[in-house]
Amino acid sequence: MQAWIDGFLTELENKDFSPLTVRAYATALGEFDTFCKARKIAKEDAFAPAHLRVFLANVQLGNPKRNTVLRKIATLRSFTAYLLRQGHLTKNPFKLLPSPKKEKLLPKFLSEPETDRLIQTAAHSKHFSPRNVALLELMYSSGLRRSEVTGLKIADVDFFNGLVKVLGKGRKERLVPVTQTALQALKDYLATRKNPQPQETLFLNKNGTPLTGDGLAFIFKNTAIASHLARRVTPHSLRHSFATHLLGHGCDLRSLQEMLGHKSLSTTQVYTHVSLEQLKSVYDQAHPKSKESL
């Protein structure tokens, strides 16, 4: 089984899947391999619908989130498709296994005052405050994913035109606008670097080496804790906040889709949640009868 898994993960890496995605696939498949070994199920028999049902039932023990279960099912589906292409399997067992519906969760985002508070906290941090401010300002300014931020080179920032070139999922490049506030924060940060060169990584850690995704998460966690926000926030919260705030100020879905790098517009539509106050405000401005005095 492990040889099959290794071959599948190598194919994902060759297709430029992100390291985080490959790691998630490896974890889910490792659980399946452990399940098969514990029950002494041969790899040729592991994909029998009966065994898959038992495995998926075990996955749901402890009442995990539905989307967690769905991700593991999706991993097994992709792995099965790979085995079918390689000729290791002749039938697709998932044709006989219905999948639970995806749980619809609203993105967790910060309000505009909370976002300002987070960034102001970074500005008052004892160490590396210029870098931390630039990091948070850029994430909020352009709605970047964690891997996209850590993958940036200095040359990817177009200070003249106010754009950043991002390498997103599937190795697809896109250009995203950057606010003047974020650009100034980046300039202030780069001024602290010794002779920065265009092809150098934009964000460095305390050792002067490229900042990793885990390093970014560590910075964000400490800043969020110091901000004393009354909610749990993650690096992705700034991406959600970016999208929510843009829509709240009149950005159209198609433009937001391009900036977020979403393949499907349906993925972007999750951000159409707005407060009742925003909805009422738009209604009052748009409906002709709402403007008539009573």
**φ, ψ dihedrals at 208, nearest 5°:** 80, 15
Catalytic hit among 108, 169, 174, 273:
169
| Strand arrangement of the beta sheet that strand 173-177 belongs to | 157-158, 163-167, 173-177
Q: Annotated catalytic, 39?
A: no
Catalytic hit among 25, 82, 189, 271:
271
Beta partners for residue 166, in sequence order: 174
User: What is the three-state SS of the chain?
Assistant: CHHHHHHHHHHHHHCCCCHHHHHHHHHHHHHHHHHHHHCCCCCCCCCCHHHHHHHHHHHCCCCCCHHHHHHHHHHHHHHHHHHHHHCCCCCCHHHHCCCCCCCCCCCCCCCHHHHHHHHHHHHCCCCCHHHHHHHHHHHHHHCCCHHHHHCCEHHHEECCCCEEEEECHHHCEEEEECCHHHHHHHHHHHCCCCCCCCCCECCECCCCCECCHHHHHHHHHHHHHHHCCCCCCCHHHHHHHHHHHHHHCCCCHHHHHHHHCCCCHHHHHHHHCCCHHHHHHHHHHHCHHHHCCC
Catalytic hit among 72, 131, 146, 239:
239
Computed from CA positions of residues 252, 253, 259, 260, in that sequence, does the dihedral angle turn out positive or negative?
Answer: positive
Nearest residue to 184 via CA among 215, 141, 143 = 141
Q: Annotated catalytic, 239?
A: yes
Q: Annotated catalytic, 262?
A: yes
Catalytic hit among 88, 174, 236, 273:
236
Q: Annotated catalytic, 66?
A: no
Catalytic hit among 72, 131, 145, 146:
145
Residues carrying an active site annotation: 145, 169, 236, 239, 262, 271
